[in-house]
Amino acid sequence: MQFLKIRLEKGSLKGPSGTKGIGCMFSLRAPFVPLEDTTWIPEADLYETQHYYILKVNVAGVSRDNLDLTLYEDCLRVSGVRMMDLFREEPLCFHRLEMGQGRFERSFRVPADADLEDIEAVLADGILTVKIGKRVYRGVKVV
C-alpha cells in the first residue's frame, strides 16, 4: 500500500461551487485542458458512506511515480501514464493488445459538502482509492 500526495493548485481552497451530492462527481468539469494525447481512460467506481465519498480508479500497471492527483477548486483530476516494458533483448510478437497504454486523465467534480481538508489517496493492488470526507455537524450532513 502506498500513500499518495494530492497536489493542491493555487486557488484550490476556495471550496466547491455549490454542486450537491455524489451524482455531480462524474459530471464533466473542465478547469483542466484535456490531454490531446490521452490514449485510454481507466475505469472508476464512485460510492459514498455516511461520512465519506470514495472514488476508486483502476490504474493497474501504473507506478506511483507516474500517477498525479490534482485538486483545483471543485475538480479532482487523476492523470498519469502506463507504459509497456518494451526494453527487452528479444523482439516481441504481439497477438493481442487490449490493455490501454500511454497517457490517461479523468476529472471528477467534488461535491459542495466535501471537506477539502480531509482527503486521503492510497494506491494498492493497482487500484487508486481516494477518500474524501464530508463536512458533518453533530451527525447531520452540512449542505
Taking only the tens place, the pLDDT of each residue in 42-53 is 999 999 999 999
Residue pLDDT, tens place only, 75-92: 999 999 998 776 667 777
* pLDDT over 80 at 100, yes or no: yes
Q: How confident is the model at residue 22 (pLDDT cuts 50, 70, 90)?
A: low
Q: Is 74 inside a domain boundary? A: yes
Q: Is 90 inside a domain boundary? A: no
Query: pTM for the full model?
Result: 0.72
Q: Is 92 inside a domain boundary? A: no
| Tally of structural domains, the chain | 1
CA angle 80, 86, 87 (to 5 degrees): 115
115 in helix, strand or coil?
strand
Q: Is 89 inside a domain boundary? A: no
> CATH no. for residue 61?
2.60.40.790
* pLDDT over 70 at 69, yes or no: yes
What domain range is 24 assigned to?
A: 2-84+99-141
Q: Is 93 inside a domain boundary? A: no
Q: Is 109 inside a domain boundary? A: yes
76 in helix, strand or coil?
strand
